Amino acid sequence: MEIQEADLYQKAIEFAARAHRGQYRKYTNEPYILHPINVAEILRDMDMPIETIVAGVLHDVVEDTDCTIQEIEDSFGKVVAEIVNGVTNVAEDKSVPRKERFWQNVQHLTKSNEQAQNVKCADIISNMKKFGEVNPDFAAQYTAEKMIVIDHLYEADPLLILRAKQAVEANMEGIRSEHMHLRFLLEKG
């Protein structure tokens, strides 16, 4: 990473750390910021462009904090903002059934650019790392959802798609088979 890129990466970490201050991962109780940094590191290991790596650090700030896409654009530029926007869930109204919100978010992702889909793959890989500590019913539903999401990432890097599928499949082995019927309940029909 060049000096300018390293500075931009550090700026993104500081921005995300401020935005996620006081937030902890639900099942591990780790500081939330560790997850977006891990996503960025996965992208960096895949030699993704700096804008994609920075978006990896910032991918949850709009969804999980008061930060806006405009603030991302003002601080990191239009390209990073477009990537973050592409990976940000659009359906958050909890009065809408979960299945409907899920499909709205999948449709949004299918329309997002390649780099947003790469961030989503890295997000899935990162989220699967600590999945053994999750409630089995939730784990089954979440895992089934992520396999469907991966199947709809048509623009993402093939190696990232493969790694995301492998991460999800590794977690499926630990989920009892009676929970796996949830994938079929989620299928569009």
Whole-angstrom distance, CA of residue 58 vs CA of residue 75? 11
Alpha helices, DSSP H, located in 46-113: 50-58, 61-64, 69-76, 78-87, 98-110
Going from the N-terminus, what domains does the chain have, and what CATH number goes with each? 3-186 (1.10.3210.10)
pLDDT digit string, tens, across residues 19-67? 999 998 877 788 999 999 999 999 999 999 999 999 999 999 999 999 9
What pLDDT digit, counting tens, does each position of 57-98 carry? 999 999 999 999 999 999 999 999 999 999 999 887 888 888
Residue 32 is predicted with a pLDDT of 92
Amino acid letter, residue 91: A
- Map residue 31 onto helix, strand or coil: strand
Burial of 186: CB neighbours in 10 Å, binned 0-12, 13-18, 19+: middle
Q: Is residue 51 among the annotated active site residues? A: no
Catalytic pick among 7, 14, 30, 63:
63
Q: Can 74 be counted among the known catalytic residues?
A: no
CA distance 51 to 147: 26
Catalytic residue among 5, 64, 71, 73: 64
What DSSP letter does each residue of 122-144 carry, written as one string?
HHHHHHHTTGGGS-HHHHHHHHH
pTM exceeding 0.85: yes
Per-residue pLDDT band at 189 (split at 50, 70, 90)? very low
